[in-house]
Each structure stands twice: as C-alpha cells, then as structure tokens.
Amino acid sequence: MTDDTPGIDGSKPSIARIYDYLLGGRDNYPVDREIGDFFLNDLPGSVEVPVENRRALIRAVAAMAEDGIRQFVDMGSGLPTADNVHQVARRHRADARVAYVDNDPTVLAHGRALLAADERTTVILADVREPETVRHHPEVARLIDFGEPVGVVFSAVLHHLDDEERPGELVRWWAERVPSGSRFYLSHFRSGHNEQTRLAEQRLQSAFGRGRFRTDREIADLFGDLELLEPGLVPCSLWRPESASGDRSGAGERELTVWEQMISCGLARKP
C-alpha cells in the first residue's frame, strides 16, 4: 500500500489498518504491522479476537435483516473486507441500505472505490463522537430514513473511547433519535484477570493513547434502557453460534480460549 492518498498518514498507526492486517488484509503500513505483529508473535492466538468479532457481526447483521431491519449505520466501520455489512444484509433483504462511518481517510478511499457504483451504500469520513455530524451528513440523510427502524452498529469501537468521552451517552443519543423497533449491536473488549488481557490493553493504550477494556457490567451499561435480546451480553463466540449444519444446539459446550473471552457482544432492541 502506498501513502499518496490525500489525508492518509502512513507514519501513524491506524486502528482500521491494524484490524485489516490481523484479518489478513493488505491495506496497511509498516507502523500498523509492527503493532499487529506484537499480537501475532508476542500474544499467539490473539488473532481469534478480531476473527470472532467479525463472525459475530456477520451473524448479528443477518439477524437484524431477518427481523425486518433494512437500513444500517455502521459506526467505526473499518476497512472493507469479506462479508461487509451491506453484503450480509442483502442476502436477507435485497433492498438494504448501509451508511459506513469512519474517521480514517484510508477507509474513505477504499470504501468509495469499492462502492462507487452502489447507490444504496455510502462511506463517510466522520468521527463517531460527533453524532450530529454523522446524522446530518448529506450522504447519511440521502440513504437513511430515521422515521423507520435502523440497525445501529458499534462493532469493536467503543472500547477505543475513554470514560471521559462517555460512550454510554453516545449510544443513548442514537437510541433517543431512532424509532421503536430499531436494533443496536455492540461488541467491546472485555476486562479479564489474566496476563494476556493486561498486555493487550497496555499495547493498544500505548499505541493510541486512549481507550480501555471494560467489565461485563460496564459493557452492559452501555446499552442503557435498550432491551437486550437473547442470549444477552456474551463472548462473541457464544453469540448465536451456528455449526456447519446451521444447528445451534451444540453452542457453548466447549471451554472458550482466553482470546475468545476477551471480546463480548450483544444485540438490543429499542422498545
């Protein structure tokens, strides 16, 4: 990847590009790979975290679409990869519309190139901490009808916010501005009493100077008054898992690895 795209600084690590690297992508720089290699080499097995997070997101988007949600706002969407939100949603609802939101110019450049001919999908450059800017962006306004139920996605993004940035209030802001029946999907790094969790959190904080892992109680509180749907807040690996045959009956019978326990998720409904 070259660094000649306007606005892209290849000298500073990017959360989106690190995830891309860990998931086997090529849209990253040496500074991103240096951090990614720490997880791959010093914390072997930790790639399970982004992999399981992505798998749970795919299942959650499918569940929302099956429940009738046909428009989505994906906060901190990251770089395009296999089975993007719009692709998953359209397997269940051909008319699904998706607005991707990220503050990384790399995401904007690659997303727009990928979706140039797709009139029902857009990518905007915006900060999720500025919800008014997101909601009133012309492209979001073009695609998303906030008078109808919306699927709001916070996949692996709120743990990059400090407590002072009030991530729970951010979720509540959106919850107060979408109609009954809207869905909220949230995944988040989970605190654990082990060395792997301590090292992973420390490395991310040193790289970006922000964010923290949270306890189950703290993550659940981010949903506020939203109604958590079955199976509640659980490690991503346990969120409605399916076997190759599609049978969920065996889910949860094995012991999860420390990495699978490091990220939890939940899907909620606005009553």
* Residue 144 contacts residue 97 (beta carbons within 8 Å): yes
Asked if 3 and 29 count as a contact pair (C-beta separation under 8 A), the reply is: yes
More confident position, 253 or 105: 105
So what's the pLDDT on residue 254?
Answer: 75
State the residue for tokens 């916070």.
154
pLDDT band at 250 (very low <50, low <70, confident <90, very high): very low
Average pLDDT for 58-85: 93
Q: Is the pLDDT of residue 248 over 50?
A: no
Residue-level pLDDT at 249: 38
Mean pLDDT, rounded, for 24-41: 85
In DSSP terms, which residues pair with 121 in a beta bridge?
98
For the chain, report the end-to-end CA distance as a whole number of angstroms. 45
- Domain map of the chain by residue range? 15-241+255-269
Contact, 142 vs 118, CB < 8 A? Answer: no
pLDDT category, 243, cuts 50, 70, 90?
very low
**Residue 2 reports pLDDT greater than 70:** no
In the predicted structure, residue 4 carries a pLDDT above the cut 70 = no
CB 263 within 8 A of CB 202: no
pTM across the whole model: 0.89
Q: Which amino acid is at 197?
A: T
H or E element in which residue 90 lies = helix 85-90
pLDDT value of residue 87? 94
Q: What is the pLDDT of residue 171?
A: 98
Alpha-carbon span 109 to 231, nearest angstrom: 37
For 141-157, what is each residue's pLDDT tens digit? 999 999 999 999 999 99
**Average pLDDT, stretch 76-89?**
88
Please check whether residue 101 is in contact with residue 124, taking contact to mean a CB–CB distance below 8 angstroms.
yes
User: CA 264, CA 270: separation in Å to the nearest integer?
Assistant: 20
Pick the CATH number of 15-241+255-269 from 3.40.50.150, 3.40.1130.10, 1.20.1440.230, 3.50.7.10: 3.40.50.150
pLDDT tier, 256 (very low <50, low <70, confident <90, very high otherwise):
very high
253 pLDDT tier (thresholds 50, 70, 90): low
pLDDT tens readout for residues 205-235: 888 888 899 999 999 999 999 999 999 999 9
Highest-confidence segment of 35-39, 75-79, 179-183: 179-183
Q: Average pLDDT of 59-84?
A: 93
Q: What is the pLDDT of residue 227?
A: 98
Q: Are 143 and 71 in contact (CB under 8 A)?
A: yes
Mention every residue, 6+ apart, whose C-beta is less than 8 A from residue 147: 179
When pLDDT is cut at 50, 70 and 90, the band that residue 246 belongs to is very low
